[in-house]
């Protein structure tokens, strides 16, 4: 492991930041980072509010033990977050167009002026990509991987994923009864951007008849055939779980809108509605679509996510205490480990088409819209 400097025996001030979208378990990480820093090392801990926006505008606040007590089960983040404030392409407030400016020097200066000896940055690929650049600019940073999408490179799993799968699974469970009562096709659209982890796991756990993920482009005919087959065996309803980034063979994703002030301006959404309209015409059967959206990101984290977030947060402080920076804590082969901060930027971790869970789902008759 790469050493980033001398151990933090004399360093006394660290900062914590949460960036990107909110996620169940963020507060559990904040709690673990702050409590270990305070109780084991006696360090001062400062929260940086609203992600990189807070770094740019000096929104620092001292955290006491009372501030991080009782937040383990609380959703969201007590520090606030933002996914529209990239220090290397900051959208200038008040500009008539999306004018962008590199203000990274300001961020480095603000951190040094605050005399923060190290930063723990909690975020997804975009947040950690920026963290890697700031690390190369001289800041001492340890990253913590966060996303409900479970698609971050360098780690086998991210906290927030288990909670999101549970929410989606419960939705599928509940929709079974109304689908069966009205003999409908019920389509559940879940998050995941370009990765199908949530759709795959929630679809299998919820007993979805058809699961559509970005990694396996679908065709309408196999979906129609699956629905028809179910009718022949007396099942007059079908449940489809579809990832927001799923797309037909030879087609493209459905874009809900663009947010030009964001570092990642494309917002996916609506593929379930498009598919429902197509299937109604093809099958003559009524279809209804439920888009779960931000429901998957809210609420209290599951037990698994609370435990994982606590482990990752505690490991982050262990690295800081040993002077190891430029790293992201991670789960590798079932163990807590760390990797270079540069790895998350290498691209999303997609579902392998030969994943054992896909094989298991196919074995019990689940269709992936490709055969």
pLDDT at 8: 52
pLDDT tens readout for residues 96-105: 556 789 999 9
CATH class for the domain made up of 13-159+301-340: alpha beta
Q: Based on the residue annotation, tell me whether 149 is a catalytic residue of this protein.
A: yes
Across the chain, what does the average pLDDT equal? Answer: 91
Summarize pLDDT for 252-271 with one digit per residue, the tens.
877 765 665 555 666 667 89
The stretch 157-177 carries a mean pLDDT of 95
Q: What is the pLDDT of residue 253?
A: 78
Look at residue 86 and tell me whether its pLDDT is greater than 80.
Answer: yes
pLDDT for residue 162: 96
- Start-to-end C-alpha separation, the chain: 45
| pLDDT at 141 > cutoff 80 | yes
Which residues on neighbouring strands pair with residue 188, listed in sequence order? 241, 290
Catalytic residue, candidates 86, 117, 125, 149: 149
Question: In the prediction, which pLDDT does 180 show?
Answer: 83
Q: Quote the CA–CA distance of 72 and 30 in Å, as a whole number.
A: 9
List pLDDT tens digits, range 267-290. 667 899 999 999 999 999 999 999
Q: Would the pTM count as exceeding 0.85? A: yes
Per cent of the chain over pLDDT 90 is 79
Q: Where are the domains of the chain?
A: 13-159+301-340, 164-297+352-363
Whether the pLDDT of residue 3 is over 70: the answer is: no
Shared fold status for 13-159+301-340 and 164-297+352-363: yes
* pLDDT confidence of residue 2: 41
Q: How does pLDDT run across 64-73, given as a tens digit for each residue?
A: 999 999 999 9
The string of pLDDT tens digits covering residues 305-361 is 999 999 999 999 999 999 999 999 999 999 999 999 999 888 899 999 999 999 999
Pick the CATH number of 164-297+352-363 from 3.40.50.970, 3.30.9.10, 3.90.1520.10, 3.40.50.460: 3.40.50.460
What's the whole-number mean pLDDT along residues 45-62? 96
In this predicted structure, what is the pLDDT of residue 4? 44
Residue 85 banded pLDDT, cuts 50, 70, 90: confident
pLDDT beyond 80 at 1:
no
């Amino acid at each position: 492991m790469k050493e980033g400097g001398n151990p933090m025996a004399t360093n006394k001030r660290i900062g914590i930041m949460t960036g990107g979208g909110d996620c169940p378990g963020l507060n559990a990480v904040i709690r673990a980072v702050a409590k270990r820093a305070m109780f084991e090392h006696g360090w001062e801990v400062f929260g940086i509010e609203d992600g990189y926006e807070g770094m740019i505008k000096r929104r620092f606040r001292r955290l006491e033990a009372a501030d991080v007590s009782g937040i383990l089960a609380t959703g969201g983040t007590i520090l606030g977050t933002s996914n529209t404030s990239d220090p290397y392409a900051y959208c200038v407030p008040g500009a008539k167009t999306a004018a962008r400016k590199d203000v990274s020097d300001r961020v480095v200066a603000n951190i040094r002026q605050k005399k923060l000896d190290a930063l723990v940055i909690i975020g997804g690929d975009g947040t950690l990509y920026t963290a890697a650049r700031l690390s190369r600019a001289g800041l001492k940073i340890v990253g913590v991987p966060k996303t409900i999408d479970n698609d971050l490179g360098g780690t086998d799993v991210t906290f927030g994923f288990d909670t999101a799968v549970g929410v989606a699974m419960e939705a599928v469970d509940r929709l079974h009864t109304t689908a069966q009562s009205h003999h409908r096709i019920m389509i559940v659209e879940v998050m995941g951007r370009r990765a199908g982890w949530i759709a795959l796991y929630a679809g299998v756990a919820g007993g979805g008849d058809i699961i559509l993920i970005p990694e396996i482009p679908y065709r309408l005919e196999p979906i129609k055939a699956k629905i028809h087959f179910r009718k022949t065996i007396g099942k007059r309803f079908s449940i489809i779980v579809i990832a927001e980034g799923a797309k037909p063979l030879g087609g493209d994703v459905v874009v809900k809108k663009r947010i030009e002030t964001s570092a990642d301006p494309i917002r996916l959404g609506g593929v379930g509605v498009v598919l429902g309209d197509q299937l109604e015409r093809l099958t003559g059967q009524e279809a209804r679509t439920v888009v779960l959206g931000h429901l998957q990101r809210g609420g209290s984290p599951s037990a698994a996510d609370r435990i994982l977030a606590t482990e990752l947060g505690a490991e982050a402080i262990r690295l800081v205490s040993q002077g190891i920076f430029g790293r992201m804590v991670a789960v590798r082969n079932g163990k807590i480990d760390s990797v270079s901060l540069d790895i998350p930027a290498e691209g999303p971790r997609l579902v392998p088409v030969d994943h054992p869970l896909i094989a298991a789902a196919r074995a019990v008759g689940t269709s992936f819209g490709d055969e």
